[in-house]
Structure 1
Amino acid sequence: MKIGLLILFVLFLVLPPDGIHKSLAARPSVVHIGSILRFNSTIGGASVVAIQAALEDINSDPTVLNGTTLKVDMRDTNCDDGFLGMVQALQFMETDVIAIIGPQCSTIAHIVSYVANELRVPLMSFASDATLSSIQFPFFVRTAPSDLYQMDAVAALVDYYRWKIVTAIYLDDDYGRNGIAALDDALTERRCKISYKVGFSSSAKKGDLINLLVSVSYMESRVIILHTGAGPGFKLLSLANQLSMMGNGYVWIATDWLSAYLDANSSVPAETMYGMQGVLTLRPHIPKSKMKSDLISKWSRVSKQYNHSDLRTSSYAFYVYDSVWTVARALDAFFDDGGKITFSNDSRLRDEVGGTLHLEAMSVFDMGNNLLDKIRKVNFTGASGQVQFAVTGDLIHPAYDIININGNGMRTVGYWSNYSRLLSTVLPEVLYSKPPNSSLANQRLYDVIWPGQTAQKPRGWAFPSNAKELKIGVPNRFSFKEFVTKDNVTGSMKGYCIDVFTQALALLPYPVTYKFVPFGSGTENPHYDKLVQMVEDNEFDAAIGDIAITMSRTITNDFTQPFIESGLVILAPVKKHITNSWAFLQPFTLQMWCVTGLFFLIVGAVVWVLEHRINDEFRGSPREQIITIFWYGADSNILELNISRSRLRALGSPEEYAKALKSGPKRGGVMAIVDERPYVELFLSTNCKIAVAGSDFTSRGWGFAFPRDSPLQIDLSTAILSLSENGELQRIHDKWLKTGECSADNTEFVDSDQLRLESFWGLFLICGVACVIALLIYFVTIIRKYLRHEHPEEPIPPEEPSPKKGGSKYNCRKFFSYLDHKEPPKKKQTLSSLSSTPTTPVTNFTVLEIERPVRTVRNGSVVDIED
């Protein structure tokens, strides 16, 4: 007794209260967990072997549960019959278990998740249904990647090969429907879409499946996503091969059900593999680890022991193996914290008299929340890789292998990881060790052998032979009919744009049936925004013609490669010959303001600067007269320049263009015209006295409009590029748009885009005036200084005649002498010169410079040198 009290006292001193509680808490000798599987399936059979292998390893390791034996009670369930499967799952929940491995079926997982929440039993499920989440079901723990990630990988694959539409075939249950819904969202994010989807029952007959495939063959898309189970999936692939739907042009992408089956089954019939040549499938990526290699090495022995010798390891087997280990590690931490396994009844769970479910037998796990918390905190390296749960309840680092079925086996052509959401040939675990890089330029896959044994990437779609006739909206123009208009005699559409479209269609490798539907009355030009809107609303399958590609339109529609440039330019008369005193300002005004910007046309600030120099006939309302411009509004967004509509005037034909510009704003015309370059070039080809003032101030082009993600748009863009490269596009241009030639020698106007000598006359004038003024100021200053200067009298040699004072020659000589020296030079006078001058009274004394003899030193004395 005293010894026991002493031990308790020592423990109290040494261990903290929590430690005493842990040491005194008794661990049970046996702990039961449950498992709901479908035994007769490939995944179910592999899961049975994985669970048994995990139990052997856990129970033989004394460091895991410290003497507690872990046991798993397995129950078979029927995934094909949803109702029966739910009843079987509910009957299993009558037993007291602290955690459940499974179920593998999404339909059953939904029902069991509700029950697990009420009973507080963690559900370790590897069901991939995207709608199963820990938000709705707190006790749901997903131990395999969700279909959200798998469908993101499929969408990345579709986008990588630049396919825009796909066909989805799926099993019509929770697993299939929810998976395709996740795929639809992932494709939409990448501007792709499911153009046709069709579901079928797991009990569908052969005839039903054939009809399904025939309906798929009528669709445009040749990229088929197959999201089913192994049984119906192989039936569909076999029938598709019989219907010649596994040949050239087709793309088949199967979700991970195919890789799971091929990995787990050691022998697949040769005819089955032959019918799947070129198929792509996904497999959850399992990195290398010690637990993985240990499980593979013991798999053969354990599978024979439990009558599944025909099965091999697969990704789902690794996930199930780690699920058991996760529960074991969480239980160990649970017991260390003093956790106890106790159950209590819930009064709300009562069965009707004579019922078979025995709901009252279901018990609530009292400390289920504690065990769930320990499960979510596990962190270890298992057979499937790093076992750690994110905040969302999913495993971290989901990744997939991209598999190509070829020959008798499978070949990995790349990987997808949630880290970058891109495809790569680099292992995901290597990418996770580097900084994230989501640049599309880093995407790469190895070469794929496609159905039909070809390495050339399929186009992904085809124009079906029984497809409906395309309705092509075509503007019925009133002016500039050379571009597109309706021929009133034949009723057909003709013009430059029509020829480009028909020539591009001729280059497509498949026939396209279509009909042109005129849009507009022909008495006025139609509104093109409305035409594009009709394409968006599927009233037209496409719209062709002189349709500018603008930002507002590309938001809702797709356009082909532009077949002609259509930037906006300004038309204005830039006069070359001046006829009145004030008109010299006009060329300067137009060239300076119209060319450099639009600022002159938008705000008219130049008018106020030059108003005092112009004649009274231009006074009044300058914003309404001088800055009145015309915007050809049939195909341009008038709001791009923020010009008020009150300052715009609509002109309906090229003749009105010329008349309005010739009249000018004073006589009801306009100062300038803003229009797209193709119209301007066609107009100038027959109107030589008008030119472009300035350069393009927008950059755009004309293209053909299609609904969003139309595959025909891509092929037509390629065809237009081919027309441009082989010169056919230029030939069509010359046929319709070169209607006249203007001679530059006969025009009174010049293109202010081109710099000529007269373009700089203003600069020359300013420089010349400045130079003349500077010279005048200089000469005036010099003359004033010269006149103020006193000139000394200079002696004149006797042999020279005496110049007459005041003569022009004399004065010029003195002036230029002054310019040269600033003042006349002073002469040196000698004695000889003085002796020759007449004797005069000396009134002033002058110091004369007398020449001295040169001296030197000889024998120590200074002597003069004689001449």
Structure 2
Amino acid sequence: MALSPAENIHFWLTCFCIMLASTFHPTFGNVAAATPVSPGLEIVKVGVIMEQKTTTEEAISKYMGMAWSDFYSERPSYRTRLSLHFMDPQNDVVAAASAALKLIEDEEVHAIIGPLWSEQAKFVVDLGTKAQVPVISFSATSPFLCPAQRPYFVRTAYEDSFQMRAIAAIIQAYGWREVVPIYEDTEYGNGLIPFLIDAFQEVDVKIPYRSAISPSSRDDDIEDELNRLMMMPTRVFMVHMTALLGSRLFSIANGAGMLNKGTVWIVTEGLSSLLDPVEPAAVDSMQGVIGVRPHLPASSDRLRSFKKKHSICRTHDNLFALWAYDTVWALAEAVERTWNPSKTQYVRRSSTRNSPTTALDLSDVGISELGPGIAGYMRRFSMVYGLSGHFQLVNGQLQPSAFEVFNVVGRKERVIGYWIPKYGLSKIYQAATNNNFTRKEYGEYYGSGYSVPEDVLKPPIWPGDTLEQPKGWVIPVKGKTMKIGVPVTISMKEFFYIEWPDDQGQQSGATVGAPTFSGFCYDVFLEVLNELPFSISPYEFVPFMNASRQSAGSYNDLLYGIKLGEYEMVVGDTTIVANRSSYVDFSLPYSESGVSMLVAIKDDERQNMWIFLKPLRWDLWLTAGVAFVFMGLVVWVLERHNDEDFSGSQGQRLGVSLWFSFSTLVFAHREKVHNNLTRVVVVIWVFVVLIITQSYTASLASFLTVQRLQPKFVSVQDLVKNRQYVGYLGHSFVRELLIQQLKFDPSRLIGYPSIDDFHDALSKGGANGGVDAIFDETPYLRLFLAQHCNKYTLVGPVYKTDGFGFAFRQGSPLVSYFSRAVLAVTENKDKMEAIERKNSLSPDVSCRQDTAAEQADREISLENPSLGVYSFGGLFIISAAVSLSALLVELLHSRCRRDRRRTCWKSNEGLQLPLGWSKALRIMMTKEEFGDRHLMTSTYLGRDLDKNSSRIVPWRSPPVSVTTDHAGGGDASAP
């Protein structure tokens, strides 16, 4: 297989080191065949690179021999036999690579088992890839060695990164938010960190600090590093080390008092007795430690029969030894399955073979013909009933089945639960495999911290021999006082105020005596402390000021001091905004807030002599006047023939009609109407007049009794468009909001150090060196309005912010506790109102009521409070429709009467009547047509008849034919 240029460089450098090692380490040539075999069988050489000095290494070697004998005793018909050749790497990287090269060149092995350490395995794998010899390791667990990228590397152990998800699940279950990893500064330790970070990010766990300790570190160096950790608030430590270095670490930590009550120590599988037993003295220093290790099915029939067969009485099994057993078993099966008699030799480029007497030619390393087949079979091998459990390889990597969560109690590792990749945590292995816990909420808050539900893990015994779960952090840290930053302002004393004991010291800059603190934010902080389930004392308020006791910068600068490590938290009127959350964490808000616009109001309209015209707009005044005139004309037309009051000259008739119409305003009309149509029209009109007069009266009363605060500016867009000057509080975030969101010209913005300057600025106006509007946080502006109720007002929309909150460093565990305490305080209405009254944030009742009335009235005034014609359009339409309908009916009725009169005259053209009769008939017709009463009076009629000296002759009935003598004295006769 061809190597990349980088791999070639690495390979040749390795080989150069091997040649040097071969020169100075002649013992590498000693190779012993550990397993004799019967003649007639196919012998396949397998190299084993490992030391046999420690108890663990001896156990591994023993288990490999038992695996060889057990495998072939159960399969005597197999034609192949493994021949294991052991070589000692002497705990050296170059020596391990040299041993691998000698196994390849001298013994022509077709597979290599080992070495034990990841640093050694990396070089051996490079040689194996060059010679196409599979390298199988049951202990090189570093994630840097990836079988997916190395086709001739097979790992029959769990990769270290697998256990990180289990540890992250434990941390999430107990609700800890920060963890400090302490790891071995080797490839074994460093290789885990990227996977550790990824796993913690998935459960939102922060890593505030990482501690790397070299195996060559002295005890004093380790103690100094532990003391540095003690100066930090985090008390959850995760240790990833080998047993040798880990034993030293815990012995020193226990002596320094770091395994007392309140601390949490979590270890990886490297410090589990299942992999590498820790010395008894070190175990005594690990009391209360919890950790994870691969799950070993100790109760399996396969393991019980194995122990019985080989008379093994050990209570604690070594997992590396079990993996070594299964590795030999799997390799023997792979060799048998892939054996090919024609491919049992090494292929070389030249006929000359490297020997001890000739120079080592690294370019002529032999290539195994059998190796590729063995590697391919091993990378997908699966064995359900392995000695270590389910032994399944996927792409050359052993897949984890489960992890155990253990707790060190006495000299034992008590299992308190299990973690399975598919299901999550459970205290019972069977429950974990049958129930899905992947979406389970592990933590619930009960007032004193997070607790793990009983169906997840058994309760462990924590350091300090206690069952009380540590909260994972402490304040103060080893006697260190908690520093709390506070703002320094010359105004807004109601929110946070620092009072110094001496005025002279304030002027000279000397610090004499301790200051006292007060204000709304300070009182809320004290109430929140009372709600916390623990005490954070002692703490110290650190004013954010310069030598002159003036503010040292903006609120953003104050909050950034948390990120710089100057404060642990900040207490004050700090508003929660998005850009600040990028470098600090906030608690839940304890006060509502927002940004509003403050403007001056116009003069009170009650001083206007024409205020009586304000209730109605000009269009309604005009429409009402036209309606009155129109209604007078309608009444005159309908009543001109029936009522003598509407007779006379044209001027008299017009005056009477208008008088009648306008007198309805006060319901003083006395003229009687005789026409039914007129009655209908007048009733509708009186109803219209009633509605208009009542509405006018109510509106005028509002104008006269309610103070109308008309702002000089009501629109932010108008301010931007007209380039008006706008003010803001100099140290706040409002300037960025005005520029970035509201698009104000920065040159038109003026910052003021105190809200006390707002009055003077608004009084001058933008044209006289002041401003036309002020933008600031609503609580500050309401405090300002409490002192200037009748001069200024808030207009426009409120630009929402999240309110005031306590600020902490990012990832601080205090955030969740303070947030819960803030909720408890703010939900107590009586307590919050008492704090507001104490700090004069609750204005006097009259001012508050006026402000509320002004606010409600202002919302109406901004939409023009005067009544318009549209508001009464329906009434005018109804009245006009009724009036026009009455006129139309009257017109048709008059036309009909006129037509009847004409028909009557035509029918009497031949009738001869005396002069008096003729005039009387005309009078009757005229009366029928016009309805003029005075024409029918007896005086008028008698005078007319006497004047003509005619005698009236009664008519006869039935029908009479009448002939009229137009010449003068005709008479009448019946036929």
Deviations 1:246-302 (A, max 9, x none): 33111111111333x15887x996x8766543210101235699xx53133213433
Match of 2:447? none
1:743 to 846, 849, 865: 846
Query: Given residue 179 of structure 1, which amino acid in structure 2 is its aligned partner?
Result: L
How high is the TM-score relative to the length of structure 1?
A: 0.71
Match of 1:364? 367
Change (3 A) 1:220 1:300: farther
Change (3 A) 1:163 1:381: same
Query: Given residue 164 of structure 2, which amino acid in structure 1 is its aligned partner?
Result: M
8 Å contact from structure 1 (residues 351, 360) kept in 2: no
Task: Please give the secondary structure, in 1, of the residue aligned with 2:48.
Answer: strand
- 1:374 and 1:209 map into 2 onto residues whose CA distance is 46
1:301 to 277, 298, 309: 309
Change (3 A) 1:807 1:258: farther
8 Å contact from structure 1 (residues 477, 526) kept in 2: no
- 1:415 and 1:109 map into 2 onto residues whose CA distance is 30
Task: Please give the secondary structure, in 1, of the residue aligned with 2:415.
Answer: strand
- 1:724 and 1:639 map into 2 onto residues whose CA distance is 30
1:285 to 279, 283, 295: 295
Match of 1:39? 52
- Compute the displacement of 1:602 (Å): 5.3
1:624 to 705, 718, 722: 722
- Compute the displacement of 1:638 (Å): 0.9
8 Å contact from structure 1 (residues 284, 400) kept in 2: yes
Query: Given residue 841 of structure 1, which amino acid in structure 2 is its aligned partner?
Result: P
- 1:147 and 1:789 map into 2 onto residues whose CA distance is 108
Work out whether 1:320 is the aligned partner of 2:324: yes
Change (3 A) 1:428 1:286: farther
8 Å contact from structure 2 (residues 158, 398) kept in 1: yes
When structure 1 is superposed on structure 2, of 698-707 and 716-725 the one drifting more is: 716-725
Query: Given residue 685 of structure 1, which amino acid in structure 2 is its aligned partner?
Result: A
Match of 1:824? none
Give runs of aligned pairs for residues 171-320 of structure 1, distance below 5 A: 171-180=184-193, 182-184=195-197, 186-187=199-200, 190-195=204-209, 197-201=211-215, 213-214=226-227, 216-259=229-272, 261-262=273-274, 275-286=285-296, 293-302=301-310, 304=312, 310=314, 312-320=316-324
- Compute the displacement of 1:553 (Å): 2.0
Unaligned runs of 5+ in 1: 1-26, 589-598, 605-620, 795-802, 811-836, 844-867
1:650 to 739, 742, 750: 750
- 1:751 and 1:116 map into 2 onto residues whose CA distance is 88
- 2:71 and 2:574 map into 1 onto residues whose CA distance is 71
Work out whether 1:839 is the aligned partner of 2:957: yes
- 1:196 and 1:535 map into 2 onto residues whose CA distance is 20
Match of 1:776? 879
- Compute the displacement of 1:408 (Å): 5.9
8 Å contact from structure 2 (residues 615, 866) kept in 1: no
8 Å contact from structure 2 (residues 494, 841) kept in 1: no
- Compute the displacement of 1:118 (Å): 2.2
Match of 1:516? 542
Give runs of aligned pairs for residues 341-352 of structure 1, distance below 5 A: 341-345=344-348
Change (3 A) 1:310 1:382: closer
Task: Please give the secondary structure, in 1, of the residue aligned with 2:580.
Answer: helix
- Compute the displacement of 1:683 (Å): 1.9
- 2:129 and 2:420 map into 1 onto residues whose CA distance is 31
- Compute the displacement of 1:399 (Å): 4.2
- 1:74 and 1:494 map into 2 onto residues whose CA distance is 76
8 Å contact from structure 1 (residues 602, 641) kept in 2: no
- 1:217 and 1:663 map into 2 onto residues whose CA distance is 59
1:556 to 579, 583, 589: 583
Deviations 1:350-398 (A, max 9, x none): 999889999799643235334323322334434245544455x533456
- Compute the displacement of 1:141 (Å): 2.0
Change (3 A) 1:120 1:698: same
Task: Please give the secondary structure, in 2, of the residue aligned with 1:752.
Answer: helix
8 Å contact from structure 2 (residues 247, 279) kept in 1: no
Give runs of aligned pairs for residues 515-664 of structure 1, distance below 5 A: 516-519=542-545, 526-538=553-565, 540-571=567-598, 577=605, 579=608, 601=715, 603=717, 623-624=721-722, 630=727, 632=729, 634-636=732-734, 637-638=736-737, 642-646=741-745, 649-650=749-750, 652=752, 653-658=754-759
2:837 to 718, 724, 734: 734
Give runs of aligned pairs for residues 390-409 of structure 1, distance below 5 A: 390=394, 393-397=396-400, 399-406=402-409, 409=412
When structure 1 is superposed on structure 2, of 538-547 and 726-735 the one drifting more is: 726-735
Change (3 A) 1:697 1:452: same
- 1:325 and 1:77 map into 2 onto residues whose CA distance is 23
8 Å contact from structure 1 (residues 563, 701) kept in 2: yes
Query: Given residue 542 of structure 2, which amino acid in structure 1 is its aligned partner?
Result: F
Give me the identity figure in percent. 27
1:704 to 790, 802, 806: 806
- 1:778 and 1:723 map into 2 onto residues whose CA distance is 65
1:69 to 78, 81, 84: 81
Count of residues in Structure 1 that have an aligned counterpart in Structure 2: 745
- 2:826 and 2:200 map into 1 onto residues whose CA distance is 33
Task: Please give the secondary structure, in 2, of the residue aligned with 1:221.
Answer: coil
- 1:33 and 1:476 map into 2 onto residues whose CA distance is 77
Change (3 A) 1:703 1:424: farther
8 Å contact from structure 2 (residues 786, 847) kept in 1: no
- 1:374 and 1:67 map into 2 onto residues whose CA distance is 18
Match of 2:118? 106
Match of 2:71? 58
- 1:734 and 1:672 map into 2 onto residues whose CA distance is 29
8 Å contact from structure 2 (residues 716, 796) kept in 1: no
Structure of higher CA gyration radius: 2
1:162 to 161, 168, 175: 175
Change (3 A) 1:250 1:196: same
8 Å contact from structure 2 (residues 614, 866) kept in 1: no
- 2:226 and 2:352 map into 1 onto residues whose CA distance is 47
- 1:255 and 1:480 map into 2 onto residues whose CA distance is 54
- 2:823 and 2:852 map into 1 onto residues whose CA distance is 37
- Compute the displacement of 1:769 (Å): 1.5
Work out whether 1:335 is the aligned partner of 2:435: no
Work out whether 1:30 is the aligned partner of 2:133: no
- Compute the displacement of 1:745 (Å): 8.6
Change (3 A) 1:92 1:505: farther
Task: Please give the secondary structure, in 1, of the residue aligned with 2:179.
Answer: strand
Task: Please give the secondary structure, in 1, of the residue aligned with 2:192.
Answer: helix
When structure 1 is superposed on structure 2, of 274-283 and 324-333 the one drifting more is: 324-333
Give runs of aligned pairs for residues 450-469 of structure 1, distance below 5 A: 450-463=462-475
- 2:960 and 2:305 map into 1 onto residues whose CA distance is 141
- Compute the displacement of 1:631 (Å): 5.2
Give runs of aligned pairs for residues 743-762 of structure 1, distance below 5 A: 743-744=846-847, 747=850, 750-752=853-855
Match of 2:787? 686
Change (3 A) 1:555 1:498: same
- 2:88 and 2:591 map into 1 onto residues whose CA distance is 68
Change (3 A) 1:353 1:286: closer
Unaligned runs of 5+ in 2: 1-39, 445-451, 507-514, 618-698, 703-712, 901-925, 934-954, 962-975
Match of 1:381? 384
- Compute the displacement of 1:672 (Å): 5.2
How high is the TM-score relative to the length of structure 2?
A: 0.64
- Compute the displacement of 1:178 (Å): 3.0
8 Å contact from structure 1 (residues 116, 122) kept in 2: yes
When structure 1 is superposed on structure 2, of 278-287 and 379-388 the one drifting more is: 379-388
When structure 1 is superposed on structure 2, of 120-129 and 476-485 the one drifting more is: 476-485
